[in-house]
Structure 1
Amino acid sequence: MTRMVFLNLPVSDLDAAIGFQKALGATQDMRFSDDRTAAMVHSDSIVVMLLTHARFADFTDKTIVDARAQVQGLFALSVGSRDEVDALVAAGVAAGGRADPGPVQDHGFMYGRSCEDPNGHIFELFWMDRAALEQM
């Protein structure tokens, strides 16, 4: 069985979050989406679940943090090339995100940048030359 990763994120602006995820290449699975939830499919094994604060609160009694003011996690997605990293960051900015809230990482065999979504969640986009890594 292939394991799947479902990343559940509380969002204050569901429409903006959907637009940002689409800019990163995700597609919306309408079977698991409604006016409080959006299932954003990045691959056969990765789904980002966007939940309004009210819907997210159905799953926990803990306080939902303001991701613009506090860090709750850094979410990394691998891509196929350095150019794709840059293109997806640009697309994220065009969808209301903020480029590079952290430093650009360029180690030759690995290149990464980050983009903060309109709700304050930070997505790290990175490319890695696996052949070079295997020779290290």
Structure 2
Amino acid sequence: MTKVFVNLPTTDLERSKAFYTALGCEINPLFTDENAACVVWAEDIFFMVLKREFFATFTDKPIADPNEVAQVSVSFSRDSREDVDDILAKGLAAGGTEPKPAQDYGFMYSRDLDDPDGNSLGFLFMTEEAVENGPEHVAEQSTGS
């Protein structure tokens, strides 16, 4: 089974751990120390939140400031629009920010959440019909084409 590890830079490791636990994640203590925290998002999805200085030891490239540039945005599906709104409320209460208004395409509802370091997370709900048949099919059905 493939496991996904997303590395995210942070300027404040304790703040990051508090933010992600507020979203419902757990911290794996076996892979957490003073330089990094292993955030368990799902059984096979993990965020490695790394202090910027430690992150820099893994690459010769400069580490982008996620408050200034977007290098990656990780998105997660949710079971309903209410689930999207619920996780955004938790993230905003834990110090995150919503960089733009919700997007409602009828077949898909999405909202973005930046963690306190500016790393971008997306949360979306897509109707089962769109998942199974694609957004064009949903658009055709709504216009009667």
Q: TM above 0.5, one fold?
A: yes
Hey, what does 1:115 align to over in structure 2? 113
SS at match of 2:100: coil
Q: How much has 1:110 moved relative to structure 2?
A: 1.4
Q: How much has 1:71 moved relative to structure 2?
A: 1.1
Gaps of 5+ in 1: none
Greater helix content: 2
Amino acid at match of 2:23: L
Off by >6 Å, runs of 4+ in structure 1: none
Equivalent residue runs for 1:41-56 within 5 Å:
41-56=40-55
- The count of aligned residue pairs is 134
User: What TM-score do you get using the length of structure 1 for normalisation?
Assistant: 0.91
Hey, what does 1:102 align to over in structure 2? 100
Hey, what does 2:142 align to over in structure 1? none
Distance (Å, rounded) in 2 between the aligned partners of 1:26 and 1:4: 16
Higher RCO by CA contacts (8 Å cutoff, separation 6 or greater): 1
Is the 8 Å Cα contact of residues 79 and 85 (structure 1) preserved in structure 2?
A: yes
Is the 8 Å Cα contact of residues 16 and 95 (structure 1) preserved in structure 2?
A: no
Hey, what does 2:73 align to over in structure 1? 74
Amino acid at match of 2:109: Y
Amino acid at match of 2:120: I
Distance (Å, rounded) in 2 between the aligned partners of 1:14 and 1:133: 36
Q: How much has 1:24 moved relative to structure 2?
A: 2.1
Q: How much has 1:78 moved relative to structure 2?
A: 1.4
Same amino acid, percent of matched pairs: 40
Is the 8 Å Cα contact of residues 21 and 40 (structure 1) preserved in structure 2?
A: yes
SS at match of 1:57: helix
SS at match of 1:31: helix
Hey, what does 2:84 align to over in structure 1? 85
Q: How much has 1:65 moved relative to structure 2?
A: 1.1
2:123 paired with 1:125:
yes
Q: How much has 1:116 moved relative to structure 2?
A: 0.8
Hey, what does 2:140 align to over in structure 1? none
Gaps of 5+ in 2: 138-145
Distance (Å, rounded) in 2 between the aligned partners of 1:10 and 1:60: 12
* Deviation digits for residues 6-46 of structure 1 (CA, Å, limit 9, x no counterpart): 00111111111112211222111111101111000111111
User: What TM-score do you get using the length of structure 2 for normalisation?
Assistant: 0.86
Amino acid at match of 1:6: F
* Deviation digits for residues 50-89 of structure 1 (CA, Å, limit 9, x no counterpart): 0001211111121111111111111111122110100111
- Provide the aligned C-alpha RMSD in A: 1.3
